[in-house]
Structures are given as structure tokens and as C-alpha cells.
């Protein structure tokens, strides 16, 4: 079991966070953005960055070569659709994508909008962790959380 810290400061213990989220056992911050039979899109529960989307498979697996043909086709369509919504609904110019196969959860892609405030943390993959931590430590206030929720609602409307 792993202890997971949520954006609201509480912690939960789960076997696989992605399984718990995609099965609806944990309600993600702001609710589900999109789901179908293969995938589940939600805001990350620990990092309040407006427009950040986690796209997780519903099936429990880890590696890119484990996607079925149907999942693979749906996956790329969905990544493009979510990216399009981030641009059109939230004006997000660039997104950083992060996915590691040796995750402690299962298959999920981070789609992290690139904001001006992230630039001091670097210009590539090295900036991701500091930016995520900054959001959790310095942006976990009511005004920002409200904005994050509004962004989730815009994305949900665009994707459903």
C-alpha cells in the first residue's frame, strides 16, 4: 500500500492510485474530465496547476508496448483532443508530456501546461519536478484552486 497526499492536504492509502482513480474509488479534484471504456482523464490530485491533465488507462499495465491496438488508436486521438481543448479553452500555448513506465501507479500520461512562472525552473524535463512542487507548496490557496476547478470544468465541457 502507498500513502498519497491529495491537494487538499489529506492522505489516502491505495494499492494502485491509477486503478483507484479510474475505478472511481477516489474522486479526483474537480471530478472526472473525460472517460470512456479505455481511458480516464482527470486533474492531478496533488499538484494544483491549471489545465494539467492526467490521462490514465483503465486497464492495469505499465508499458507502451502493452497497449492493445484499440487502446493505442484511442490514446492518440484522446491526447490530441485534450491538447486541442487545452489550447482552445484555456489558451495554453505549450504542454510538457511526461510518462514513465516504472511508475508506482499504472499507465498514465502527464500533460503539464507550460506557464511563465515555470521558466526559472529550467526549459526542459529538469523543470518538471520543481514546477510541480512549487504548485503544491506555493499555489495551494483558495483562489488558485478555484481557478484550477474552473479550468477542469471548461475542459470537461469541451471533451464531452
Q: Is 19 in the site for Zn ion (CB under 5 A)?
A: yes
Handedness of CA 59, 63, 69, 74 (dihedral sign): positive
Q: Is 16 in the site for Zn ion (CB under 5 A)?
A: yes
Q: Residues 6 or more apart from 48 whose CB is under 8 A from it? A: 7, 29, 135, 136, 139, 140, 144, 145, 148
CA triplet 143, 99, 44: central angle to 5 degrees? 25
Q: Is 57 in the site for Zn ion (CB under 5 A)?
A: no
Alpha-carbon span 60 to 62, nearest angstrom: 7
Alpha-carbon span 88 to 107, nearest angstrom: 26
Q: Scanning residues 97 to 156, which ones bind Zn ion (CB under 5 A)?
A: 106
For the bound state, the minimum distance from the C-beta of residue 145 to Zn ion, rounded and expressed in Å, comes to: 27
Instruction: Quickly tell me which residue has 500555448 as its cell.
Output: 93
**Among 14, 35, 59, 60, interactor with Zn ion by CB under 5 A:** 60
Considering only the C-alpha atoms of the chain, give the largest distance between any 2 of them, rounded to a whole number of Å.
Answer: 42
> How many residues sit close enough to Zn ion to count as binding (CB under 5 A)?
5
Binding mask 65-104 for Zn ion (x = CB under 5 A): ----------------------------------------
For the bound state, the minimum distance from the C-beta of residue 71 to Zn ion, rounded and expressed in Å, comes to: 14
Judged by CB under 5 A, the stretch of 12-20, 39-47, 70-78, 120-128 that binds Zn ion is 12-20
Kind of pairing, strands 32-35 and 11-14? unpaired
Select 60 or 74, whichever has its Cβ closest to Zn ion.
60
**Among 4, 18, 82, 108, interactor with Zn ion by CB under 5 A:** 18
Residues at the contact surface with Zn ion, assessed by CB under 5 A? 16, 18-19, 60, 106
Amino acid at each position: 500500500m502507498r500513502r498519497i497526499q491529495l491537494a487538499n492536504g489529506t492522505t489516502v492509502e491505495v494499492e494502485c492510485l491509477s486503478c483507484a482513480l479510474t475505478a472511481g474509488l477516489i474522486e479526483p479534484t474537480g471530478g472526472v474530465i473525460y472517460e470512456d471504456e479505455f481511458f480516464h482523464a482527470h486533474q492531478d490530485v496533488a499538484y494544483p496547476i491549471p489545465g494539467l491533465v492526467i490521462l490514465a488507462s483503465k486497464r492495469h499495465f505499465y508499458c507502451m508496448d502493452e497497449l492493445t491496438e484499440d487502446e493505442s488508436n484511442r490514446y492518440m486521438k484522446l491526447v490530441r483532443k485534450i491538447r486541442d481543448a487545452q489550447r482552445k479553452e484555456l489558451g495554453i500555448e505549450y504542454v510538457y508530456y511526461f510518462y514513465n513506465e516504472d511508475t508506482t501507479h499504472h499507465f498514465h500520461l502527464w500533460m503539464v501546461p507550460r506557464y511563465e512562472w515555470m521558466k526559472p525552473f529550467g526549459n526542459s524535463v529538469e523543470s518538471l519536478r520543481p514546477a510541480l512542487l512549487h504548485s503544491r507548496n506555493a499555489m495551494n490557496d483558495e483562489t488558485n484552486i478555484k481557478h484550477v476547478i474552473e479550468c477542469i470544468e471548461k475542459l470537461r465541457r469541451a471533451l464531452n
